[in-house]
Amino acid sequence: MMTTSIDLTPAEIRKAGWEALVSQLGVAKSLRFLLEYERGQGNYTELRKALFAGQTVDQILEDMTKEGIMSRAGLAPEGRVGECQAGKEPERDSAE
């Protein structure tokens, strides 16, 4: 019988995740991968509610465009993160 992630304790999930990383990347690269992430602190849900209180999605997107976080055509400014456009998948290299 296979154990599902729902049946696992948090410690068992961490152990299984570590084993999966090590099996694919090795110990050194797994450690480098984990060091890329921070647990953070605070309550992001409450922070997000406070930051965007009273704003519509269109207003938030307009602010992001003004700040250069996204272009009017898509989710990323031109020349930054490929060709991310709302509703359009980025083009893939034929070598993939």
Contact between 73 and 65 under an 8 Å Cβ cutoff? The reply is no
Task: For 35-63, write each residue's pLDDT tens digit.
Answer: 888 777 888 889 989 999 999 999 988 88
User: Which secondary structure element, helix H or strand E, spans residue 36, and what is its range?
Assistant: none
The pTM for the full model equals: 0.39
Query: For residue 86, what are the contacts with CB-CB under 8 A and spacing of at least 6?
Result: 74, 75
- Give residue for tokens 């060091």: 35
Judging by beta carbons within 10 Å of its beta carbon (0-12, 13-18, 19+), is residue 75 exposed, middle or buried?
A: middle
